[in-house]
Structure 1
Amino acid sequence: MKSMTEHYIGPEEIKAKRASYFYPCTQHFYQKPPQIVKGSMQHLYDDQGQEYIDFFAGVSVVACGHCNPSITDATLNQIQRLQHTTTIYLTQPIVDLAERLAELLPGTLQRTFFVNSGTEANEGALLLARMHTGRKGFIALEQGLHGRSNLTMSVTGLSMWRTDPFLEEEVYFIPRPYRTGVTPEEAAQDSLKALDKVLEEKGDTIAALIIEPIQGNGGIIVPPDGYLQEVKARLERYGVLMIADEIQTGFGRTGRMFAIEHFDVVPDIISMAKALGNGVPIGAFSTTDHIAASLNRPSASTFGGNPVSSVTGMAVLDYIGEERLVERSEELGHILMQGLEQLMKRHGAVISEVRGKGLMIGVELLASNPDLGAILTDQVLEEMKEQGFLIGKNGIYRNVLAFQPPLVIQDEDIQKMLKALDIVLERVEASKAAGVGRNPR
């Protein structure tokens, strides 16, 4: 794989340079991390030529596969023709992409503002809600993740990502519709009661509620049927907008183009990023004509919707449609879910729950002892990496295995991974029985 002229410095030197030149907040997976040097569809390769099947996709980014030639060819062609102008000048790709999105978005959402990342998309959505309602406050769910700017961090419920010591105060968190030890319906009712209380006390000061239709970093949490409909009805009574954060879940990840479609709800504003660019930075937030009219003071994004990212986005949408990736996500998601549920029956001593939709599935380890579960999760990731499979992790305690592969993954890849995971879990169960201690990441 590696040509004679290529020189890779290797994982140890990369770690040394990171230690010298990065901020200490930047971390990495694995005790023995590989140096990734190449990608091709569902595969990644390290500096030693080792092939890995990617089951994390850069946290749902490369949905169409690494270096997919159908997309990269369009990207490279545009780079050679016109790379940048900003929205001050008229270019065609940005309006073509906006038109394509309007055809795919739920309900009457059709106005789009392009930015460069999920954080920016959520920041813009929150700003739009304030301008439209004339209100300042927000409601968010506990354990949600919405970004790393001050405002998006303020509506983030995961404590590990709330690093700014001076966050917005007018943010009201309600429990998510999930809690161990109670039924989904009971958890949903508790969440709705908390929402009612906030609305009754602060409803006339709230601009919007922001919610991930399926929580990603919070542990891949799927709300029970009817919950989001109840939330939307309550918000409408108080003139509070609903923002659907589809940064992780958008563009086929869950077996629908947008995850909100599973729940028969149309949000007022929707944010998106990640998979739309398949690795090229792009983000956007979309809304209706009526709400968009409120964002009428001068605003721009220097790089948002530039010709390269816009052409790439259109190539992504073309590929998703032509290759039926939304349908594939649903079909292969069923296969992966069934396989993981079979492993839970075999390894119930360590697997507590399997949950998700499409190709966005979480496997929680040792929910009754999440600190130990986090140790075992790290062990599984390390050993699966040695077997040639890259898996993610998330959850409040970082004890949830995250399966979010490129949507071009094959049934054969899933079966190979399940077979390897079965063997690894046997070893993990043995180490659990013998007693383990936390390993450094």
Structure 2
Amino acid sequence: MTDLYSRHRQVLPDWLALYYDEPIEITHGEGRHVWDSAGNKYLDFFGGILTTMTAHALPEVTKALGEQAGRIIHSSTLYLNRPMVELAERIAQLSGIPDARVFFTTSGTEANDTALLLATAYRRSNTILAMRNSYHGRSFSTVGITGNRSWSPTSLSPLQTLYVHGGVRTRGPFAELDDRAFIAACVADLKDILGHTRPPAALIAEPVQGVGGFTSPPDGLYAAFREVLKEHGILWIADEVQTGWGRTGEHFWGWQAHAQGGPPDIVTFAKGIGNGTSVGGVIARAEIMNCLDANSISTFGGTQVTMAAGLANLAYLLEHDLQGNARRVGGMLIERLRTVAAQLPGVREVRGRGLMIGVELVRPGTDEADPRSASAVLETAREGGLLIGKGGGHNTSALRIAPPLSLTVAEAEEGAAILERALRSAY
């Protein structure tokens, strides 16, 4: 592995982050487990950054991929594409957006980039409202609306971005308020911003902030925002790249926790729908999607082989009620981790919904982020046979837990036990 790491450093960017003091090469997987090149087996609680949504090497998906690859892999959007139409039909129906249109991309970054293009063209404004602590991708436009310093390498942007309070419930100036007062204060903040600027094109928001450490506002915040936005004709973009497809357990889409007033104007998605293949996309009302007055195509978005994977994966997810499994097993896992956290002075909070769980670490006796201990727990968990992720706002001090949605109760218990030992070793 040292040789591969050396080769990696020679030809890839320094800013391309790798986990672990001694990075690992994952060579294969099955179900909720993966193996590295040294033969070590791991329980996977991160799923390729929430991307392996159902399971590794899911037979239904690998079969669909193979069969489609044997016919044709790619032709571009210049030709009719049956798998793309079929998946778009299913997604449009599931979206809750009336008269929905779907455009496929290859990633969440590209999906959000497209949503910004649509919103700014439709509204003829380059001003965007975004949430503090947010993350929306790594393209030039999406880092410009990312409210997380660790993931936004430049202040240059084609957009004017205004950041709104509300994405983090337990930190910031409104943290001590109850839910009702918290929402009211965030709405007042939004109204104040709108009183000082020309009308923005859209508010883009993750229902649960992914890279930000799986933080979320009280249910109903974005519904309250929506009422204000409607008064000004401002669009609502729900970034469902990490929250979509039932991961939160309670709902199929994260925005449904804020459903009063109807669905968003635009929804972006990616990650889990392809179960590891490169599928992203945008859902919008027809009048918004069709507002562009120039030609456009996508060379690789919606390619046949990834659409076949998406169709098979979505069918499996729905037929096996993985949303319900995320709710049941995720709820049990959250309570198990909260029991552990109550005994450890360095665990500030265990939060999340379904199989999207954050464990925030702080220096004992303080409210200060503890990124060093977060890194140590990540290392110790790997040594114990568990892969997890990291995230967070001011400092990367939140552990991110997001296993495939087919996780069993026994696997959840096993992972929780490994994580408990890792946390106890740090505190």
- TM-score category by the smaller chain? over 0.9
1:228 to 222, 233, 241: 222
For 2:420, the equivalent position in structure 1 comes to: 422
| 2:27 aligned with 1:37 | yes
Which of 189, 195, 199 matches 1:200?
A: 195
1:9-408 matches, cutoff 5 A = 10=1, 12-108=2-98, 110-168=100-158, 170-177=160-167, 178-180=169-171, 181-183=175-177, 185=179, 186-204=181-199, 206-255=200-249, 256-264=251-259, 265-347=262-344, 349-366=345-362, 369=366, 373-396=370-393, 397-408=395-406
What is the CA deviation profile of residues 348-367 of structure 1, one whole-angstrom value per residue up to 9, with x for unaligned ones?
A: x1111011111001010117
Point out where structure 1 has 5 or more consecutive residues left out of the alignment.
Answer: 1-9, 430-441
Q: Which runs of 5+ in 2 are unaligned?
A: none
Per mean C-alpha deviation after superposition, the further-off stretch among 410-419 and 191-200 is 191-200
Q: 1:62 to 1:109 in 2, by over 3 A?
A: farther
Q: CA deviation at 1:421?
A: 2.2
- For 2:369 and 2:3, locate their aligned partners in 1 and report how far apart those are by CA, in whole Å: 31
Q: For this pair of structures, how many residues does the alignment match?
A: 417
Alignment root-mean-square deviation, CA: 1.6
> How far apart, in 2, do the equivalents of 1:316 and 1:370 lie?
41
Distance 1:33 1:184 in 2: 43
Q: Distance in 2 between matches of 1:309 and 1:416?
A: 33
Aligned partners of 2:95, 2:400: CA distance in 1, in Å? 27
Question: Per-residue CA shift, 1:309-366, capped at 9, x if unaligned?
Answer: 111111111110111111111111111111011111222x111101111100101011
Cα shift at 1:130: 1.3
TM norm structure 1: 0.91
Query: What are the superposed Cα offsets for residues 341-400 of structure 1, whole Å, 9 maximum, x if unpaired?
Result: 1111222x1111011111001010117757662111111111111111101111011111
CA distance in 2, matches of 1:85, 1:32: 41
- 1:263 Cα deviation (Å)? 2.1
Q: Kindly provide the CA deviation profile for residues 202-228 of structure 1, in whole angstroms up to 9, marking residues without a partner as x.
A: 243x11010001111111112102211
Task: Give, in angstroms, the shift of residue 169 of structure 1.
Answer: 5.1
How many Å apart are 1:168 and its aligned residue? 3.4
Give the Å deviation of 1:281. Answer: 0.5
- CA distance in 2 between counterparts of 1:425 and 1:154 reads 35
Confirm or deny: 8 A CA contact 1:203 1:240 kept in the other structure.
no
Distance 1:320 1:70 in 2: 11
> CA offset at residue 176 of structure 1?
2.8
Call closer, same or farther: CA 1:73–1:61 in 2, change over 3 Å: same
Distance 1:184 1:222 in 2: 14
Residues 374 and 399 in structure 1, CA contact (< 8 A), matched pair in contact too: yes
Q: Give distance in 2, aligned partners of 1:258 and 1:133.
A: 25
The alpha-carbon distance between structure 1 residues 422 and 373, as it changes in their structure 2 partners (threshold 3 A), is same
**TM-score, structure 2 length as denominator?**
0.94
Structure 1 residue 183: deviation in Å?
Answer: 3.3
Q: Is the 8 A contact 2:25 2:37 kept in 1?
A: yes
SS of the equivalent of 2:197 reads helix
Q: Aligned pair in 2 of structure 1 residues 366, 107: CA closer, same or farther (>3 Å)?
A: same
Percent of pairs with identical residues:
33
Which deviates more from structure 2 when the two are superposed, residues 413-422 or residues 169-178?
A: 169-178
Deviation of 1:15 after TM superposition, in Å, equals 1.3
Q: Report if the CA contact (8 A) 2:83-2:307 is conserved.
A: yes
Give the match for residue 434 of structure 1: none
1:439 is matched with none
Q: Aligned partner of 1:263: which letter?
A: H
Q: In the TM superposition, what is the alpha-carbon distance from 1:296 to its structure 2 partner? A: 4.2
386-395 or 362-371: bigger deviation:
362-371
Amino acid at match of 2:210: G
